[in-house]
Copies of this chain bind each other. A is one copy, B any other.
Amino acid sequence: MSLVIVGTAAFDAIETPFGKTDKILGGAVVYAGLSASYLYNDVKLISVVGGDFDDNLDLLKSKNLDVSGIEVEREGKSFFWSGRYHTDMNSRDTLATDLNVLADFDPKIPESYQDCEYLLLGNLTPIIQLTVLDRLKHTPKLVVLDTMNYWMDIAMDDLKVVLQRVDVLTINDSEARQLSGEYSLVKAANKILGMGPRYLIIKKGEHGSLLFGDGQVFSAPALPLADVFDPTGAGDTFAGGFIGYLAKVGSINFANIKNAIIYGAALASFCVEAFGTERLQNLTDLEITNRIKEFVNLARFDISE
């Protein structure tokens, strides 16, 4: 049974205080797919790219990712995004957004994808996320939705329709406040859980994340890093690792969702160590295992009353 990921495949040009890149491989489906590939062996991608993307499809295939759902528009150009990060690495300016082939994206679901059991709706316009849900013949066992403030600004009604059909929502703290109209994250979580999702993950960047659901709360740490080189794709990488872990263990409960968050955070902590997908392209199982151990040691304490 497969894990299907839908999202953008793109070229990014990135400036950080540490340097800048030319057009490099990016996009939610790429980051999430690479991340999930380390945890699950049946990962299928849905996206659209231009004729300029060819070599990168080979890269994805080499990581055992199924790209038959990535439509190639030979005459078109791939989605392009360019941004510049501020010194704090938590805020950024978008310098360019060229939708190109993404402007008319109509997601195709290959017949071979209809065994989808785990679905990650990566950050995209809510209408496309809905279309993917509608075109799957069976409701997946788990639907995870990633979105952002941009869609809350321009497509909140559509987004609320999608929310009713997902199991897990991942957003950051300011987006949780925007979506709920509540400043307190506890109150925000209660409202958002009333909108559809069974679980809410609020990402707080360098401060880790909070999980709400099943009447419980979990606070996951972030690994303190000496340098955050490039935060691009960290959220997508988190989401890919998160759902990849759940696909691997095959059982959805609060304990497994907590562990999935740790795996997602661990993979995201690699992502930010280099520009773009560079660090995600050649991780070893040992590196991942050791990083997970760092998270365990980071958060462990033992109080016996």
Known A183-B88, A289-B305, A299-B299; judge A219-B208 contact (CB<8 A): yes
Known A207-B207, A292-B305, A299-B301; judge A184-B227 contact (CB<8 A): yes
The smallest beta-carbon distance between A90 and chain B, in angstroms, is 11
Contact of A208 among B207, B226, B258, B301 (CB under 8 A): B207
A144 to B274, CA, bound (A): 38
A156 neighbours in B (Cβ, 8 Å)? none
- Tell which of A22-30, A56-64, A145-153, A210-218 binds the partner: A210-218
A222 neighbours in B (Cβ, 8 Å)? 219
A302 to B259, CA, bound (A): 7
Contact of A217 among B187, B217, B298 (CB under 8 A): B298
Whether a CB of chain B sits under 8 angstroms from the CB of A142 is no
> A49-77 interface mask toward B, CB cutoff 8 Å, 1 = contact, 0 = none?
00000000000000000000000000000
Whether a CB of chain B sits under 8 angstroms from the CB of A132 is no
A208 neighbours in B (Cβ, 8 Å)? 207-208, 219, 221
A56 to B206, CA, bound (A): 41
Whether a CB of chain B sits under 8 angstroms from the CB of A255 is yes
> A267-300 interface mask toward B, CB cutoff 8 Å, 1 = contact, 0 = none?
0000000000000000000000100100011110
A250 neighbours in B (Cβ, 8 Å)? none
Contact B301 A258 (CB under 8 A): yes
Contact A303 B224 (CB under 8 A): no
The smallest beta-carbon distance between A59 and chain B, in angstroms, is 28
A258 neighbours in B (Cβ, 8 Å)? 301
Contact B207 A301 (CB under 8 A): no
A87 neighbours in B (Cβ, 8 Å)? 183
Choose among A228, A255, A297, A299 the residue with the greatest number of B CB atoms under 10 Å from its CB. Answer: A299
Whether a CB of chain B sits under 8 angstroms from the CB of A133 is no
Known A259-B303, A292-B305, A303-B292; judge A297-B216 contact (CB<8 A): yes
18 contacts between A and B (CB under 8 A): A87-B183, A88-B183, A184-B227, A187-B226, A189-B224, A207-B208, A208-B208, A217-B298, A218-B301, A219-B221, A219-B222, A219-B298, A219-B299, A221-B299, A262-B303, A289-B305, A292-B305, A299-B301
10 nearest interchain CB pairs?
A219-B221, A207-B207, A258-B301, A186-B226, A186-B224, A219-B298, A259-B303, A299-B299, A184-B226, A187-B226
